[in-house]
Amino acid sequence: MAYWLMKSEPDVYGIEHLKAERTTLWDGIRNYQARNFMRSMAVGDQAFFYHSNSKPPGIVGLMEVLETGLVDPTQFDPHSRYHDPASARDNPRWDCVRLGFLRQFPTLLSLETLRQTFSPEQLGVVRRGNRLSILPVADSSAQRILSLLES
C-alpha cells in the first residue's frame, strides 16, 4: 500500500465536502506528471488531503483510493473549466481516480511544521514553488506524518 498527497483548495473542494459526500471523483487534473502519478495508484492506497491556498496550508485528512483508471468526464464537458477540446472520446487524454473519505484529523498539520520536519527530498510538497497537485509520499514519511498528527 502506497501513500500519496493530494492538494485541493478548500473553497473549491475541501475535506468538509468529501466528509459529506463520502466519495469523490478526483477530476480536473491537467498536468501530465500528476496524471501519471494517478495512473500508478492502486486500489487501497491512501492519500493525505492537503488544503492549498488556505490559511494556513496543510494536511487535514486521509483518503483511500477506491477506483483507478477512470475517464475524467470533465474533459468532454464544454461547460467545465476543465474542458479539453483536444481530447478525443475514443482516446481520452485525462483520467482520474475515485477516493473515499477515511478521516479528518483533529488538527491541521501545517506546511510550516512539515517544513520543519522534512527536507524537500523527503516530502515534495515542502519544496518552495512546487506546483504539483499530486505527489508520492514515502512510507517512512507517511508514518512520520501520522505520528505528528497523533501527538
CA 120 to chain centroid, in Å, comes to 18
Residue 89 binding DNA, by CB under 7 A: no
> Which of 32, 40, 42, 102 touches DNA (CB under 7 A)?
32
Residue 143 within binding range of DNA, rule CB under 7 A: no
Instruction: Kindly write out the interface string for residues 40-59 of this chain, putting x where it contacts DNA by CB under 7 A and - elsewhere.
Output: ------------xxx-xx--
Q: Which is nearer to DNA, 91 or 150 (CB)?
A: 91
Tell me which H or E stretch contains 46. Answer: strand 46-51
Judge contact between 8 and 51, C-beta under 8 A: yes
129 binds DNA (CB under 7 A): yes
Query: Where does this chain touch DNA (CB under 7 A) — which range of 17-25, 41-49, 94-102, 126-134?
Result: 126-134
Closest approach of Cβ 87 to DNA, in Å? 11
DSSP letter for each residue of 93-132: S-EEEEEEEEEEEEEEEEHHHHHHH--TTT-GGGSTT---
Asked if the bond preceding 56 is cis, omega within 30° of 0, the reply is yes
**Hey, is 136 helix, strand or coil?**
strand
Positions in the binding site for DNA (CB under 7 A): 7, 9, 30-33, 52-54, 56-57, 111-112, 115, 128-133
